Each structure stands twice: as structure tokens, then as C-alpha cells.
Structure 1
């Protein structure tokens, strides 16, 4: 499996032991198959309908599956405007992370990996734990001690060993790095190229669900940025194949308490801003001070003529409640995208199509009323 580093341009064969480039960049797959519509297995209601379009080889096809993908695209009305909600929390472990983890863990299982580690504020950890259980792989998850108790319990019930780490989210990453340097296999939603590859399938689903058309706008919450980049790369594949004429305008949303991507994008910075948040957002899943793929994230927004919107805690909590009144119960991390709509509606033509990615179930991080 040939990979490349977008930061320095290095190309090599993937070795899971070398989980990032020597320059520090995160790998991406270098070889992408031409998107041929005839290869879509339309009888399958999971991401494996695109199996023949994924440039990886598995011993079994697929080797590990819980049925992730092909999530509903539901029409709704919000603030007097029509929107489309992509229900990515309708997954086996109730978050969008399953889309990437299902294929990543299938790949690791196919090359006989028997023990993995991951750092996560909850959703990625729960997903890795579930798929590890499915594959008979031992898993250890490093999570911040302040993570949602519901998420930590979910990780543990699958049989994974949970290591809680006191302090900021970055300390969980530093803790897992110590065991990775000792030889542990890093099943990382931030770094693994197969995880990012699989996130492209969400773009292809929306394209199919809209009758082989694209939306004008696609709105996603951003922490590490895997969802944003997956959508961008997925639509780029369709564009390269001549199946669409342009890429939707991408909108990244972050809580104002920690919005480094918005700061870098909106101020057109060449370097990533140093952030020292003084308070913790209710959108805990987005507490990433420096995403490993931040350069690609800026590229995605710039190439798509997109936007980055920072929303207040009050706006997040209000959107969380309003979504529930519409029968969509998501966690606050996911509600940020709806909180951004007031700002987006001010610049979007009412006739334009907006897809909103709802990424995590409200059962993951219930708020006390």
C-alpha cells in the first residue's frame, strides 16, 4: 500500500510501525482508484458498497464489519430554512468514527495485528474497542479523566483496557505515545491513512442520496478534522472522475472557546496559532489544540471556498435543545454545526442545498437538565 506525506512529499510503502512521516506529517494513500460508478455494489447498505473503490487489499472482504455507513440523509427545517441532516450517529457505536474505524480495523486484522492502542476523548476509543472485540484484538484506550462517563463505560464494556489520564486532552496523547514508542500498534483516527480513506465514503453516499448531485454546502464539526478531510477528499475523487463539476463549499465549525482552525483560516495565517484555552467547552470532543493534519484542513477550506465558524457555548446549548425538539438527539460536540446555521444563513441563498453532519448520539454525553 503506497502512501505519501502531504507535508514534505515523501512517498513510501506503508508500515504500521512507522505511523507518521519522519517530518512529523500524517500519511495519506498515494494511489487512488479512478471512481467508476459501475463498481458500486448498490445492493449493500453499508460503506462496503464502495469496497472495489477502496485502494486496499484485505485477506477477507471485509474482514471486520459491524455494518457502518449508508447513514440516512434526512430533510428538516431549522430557522425557517430547509436543510438536510446526515445522521452519522446512526452507526454501530453511535458516532461517525465507525466509518473510518471499520475499514482501519479490517486492514489491521488482515495483516494479523493482535494488539492496538489509541488515544481518544471517547468516540474513537469506543469505536476501536468495539471493532477490536469483533476481531479478537486486544485494545487499550487512553482517555482524559474528564471524558464523558458514558463514553468511558462504553469503551470498557467492549473489553478494552481504559487508561484515564488527568489534565488536558493532549496529555492522553502524550501517554499513548510512550507505549507506541515501545512498539505498540497505534490504531489512530488522527494519523492512520486507512481511517481517513474510509471517511471519503460519506461524500459518496451524499452524492448518491441526492441523485448523483452534490450539495452547495457541507457543514461539519472539527477537532482533528478527519470528517472534514474525508468529505473533501471524497468529493475530489468524484471531481477527478468527471462525475461532478465542483466540490461543495465546506464549512468547519468549532466552539469559540477553542477555535484554532477558524483563527488560522479567517486571519489567513501561515502558521498554526498557539492556543491556551482558559475554559472547557461543552463540545468536549473538539478539544484539539493542534490537529495533526492542520495544513490539509486549511487547504480543504481554501480550495472549496469554504468557511470556518466559531460558535459560543450559549449557541451550542440552544442548538442542542432545538435539535432534540426536532427529534434529533445528539451530543453537544455534534450540535455545534446547527449552532453555526444562524451565521451561515446570513450568507447562503435560500435555494442552495445545505448538508449538516450530525456525528455523535446524545446518549454519549447526556447533559443534566
Structure 2
């Protein structure tokens, strides 16, 4: 059944996690009538044929590549389209990390935001989007709000610079956050009157610091903390780490286990052991090494599954529940401690 290769696959994923996080994939939706072709995949800016795009859309693609993503997927829509449904359907079953729709009108951001959230909730996708002026209150939506972005002779509003921001977020490694990332091409911005308040309200903003233009703090639009979504979910770096782990484990499970391995307790233990070895390989940049990051059989869910079909489990101890696998289900749970980047300094000085 190839079980030894599972360990190798997870080990390889753990070793390459930082490199892969630094080379994420950006999806762009552009309205452009220059050509009839709908979908383009570019690995470098050299792959782009200038005549395929208007000058404005070509610049959006170039802006995205400034962040050095591993790939840019561009889906073309007609300038006469009244929504983005067709382009979103095209992207649904492709692999990518960050979406931007440069030039999108504020009224259309609601549909994009809702689609991203639906894909994450219902289809377990790890899609995220950079949208202008969209206070979605969700960890997968980055609400970019800076205006008056001056680059050479050109001045851009937030909607026009979302492709650049998506490229940055896709190109950053998980060994750092986007906080204080410098955008060297920008000459000036319209500064925010209350940057601290804007960040606290879930806005990704640019700031001017020592004549340099930087990302203020790497936050998404989430502002409401709950029991299931604590304050950590507000940080882009931490959500990226969560998505990386979810994608690696679920992809490996789907590719190597589903339909191929009998659902016995022994085989579950082999899978759990491989997952825990993978998690250990992420310590230092993604997970806290001093914390016991691990998964195991979700005893409560497995017990409830048996109780749900009328089986009395009152006399079963935890080990018995673990060993009694339920139908084709693999119930796992775990506790992780994700590592953030250094961003805040508190220093007390005592004078003698």
C-alpha cells in the first residue's frame, strides 16, 4: 500500500515548507478584450506576451511578479461582464493561494469575499484574497485601504495596487511576516490619519517611515475574536501557516490514503505518526518547538459516532475508543502553537 512512502512524502513536505510558502501562487482576474484566450499561466514575467494585454493590465501582471510568486494565473473576463462569476468558476478547481482583482469596483468586492469564504468553509480550500476597502471581518480577506500611491508619474488607488500586495504576500516566506515589508518602488502615499486605529479595524495599510514606504502590520480583515477564532487569526503569517498544514495533510491523505488503505487502528496509527513527524519538521519557523504540536484520534468524536448509531460506549475507556475505528471515517484532533514574527518591543529602563 505504499505506507513507507507516506513518511517520505511528509518528511519532504516539512523540509520544503518554508521554500514552498515563499513561492505561493497568485490568481488575477482581469477584464480585457485584447485576445480571446481565457486562462494564462505564467512562471516568470518573461513568459508574458505584451500584445496579449492592455498596457494597464500588463502592468498589473508585472506588479504581481515583483513579489516573486512561483506562478501567476490570469483569468480574462470581458469588459462587458457585469460580474466575476465565470472567472471564479474557472479558478475554483485550480491550485492557488492569493487572489487579486485589480481595478475592481467596491460594490463587486462583496461577491468575491463571499465566494472566498464559501470555498474555505464548504470545499476546504485555502484560498485568500486581497480586496480594496472590503471590511469582511474574515481571516481569508485582506482589506487593503491605502490611497494616493505614487509610483513615478502614476498615482494609484487601493484597488489598483491589490495585485502588487497579493504578489508580496505570495512571495514571502513563513520565516517572516509582511509587517514593515518595504515597497521600494513607491515614492509617496496618502498617509492614514489614524494608522493604529485603521490596523485595529482590520485594514492592511502602507505607512511612511524614515522616508520609506512599508506595510504597516501584516493583518487581515478579521476583527471579531471568538472561541474558535482567537486573536491569532488576525495575523496573515499565522493563517498562512494554518493553511500550509491543512493543505499538506489533506492533500497527502487524499492522494495516498483515500480508497487505498484499510481503516484499521494500526493504519491510523501509522498515519498519525507520519503527521506528527511532519509537524515536528515545521518547528522553528511555523510551529513553536517547545510546544508538543501533535494530533491523535479524536476520542470524543469517535465515541459520539458510535453512540449515534445506538452503540453503548459507556464501558469503553479512551484506548478502546481509539481502537474502534468507525466505518470509513478518520477522526483526528490536535493542538498547535504557531510562531509569529517579532513585531513589538517593550523595554523597561531603570536609571540609577
TM-score, normalised relative to structure 2? 0.24
Rg larger in structure: 2
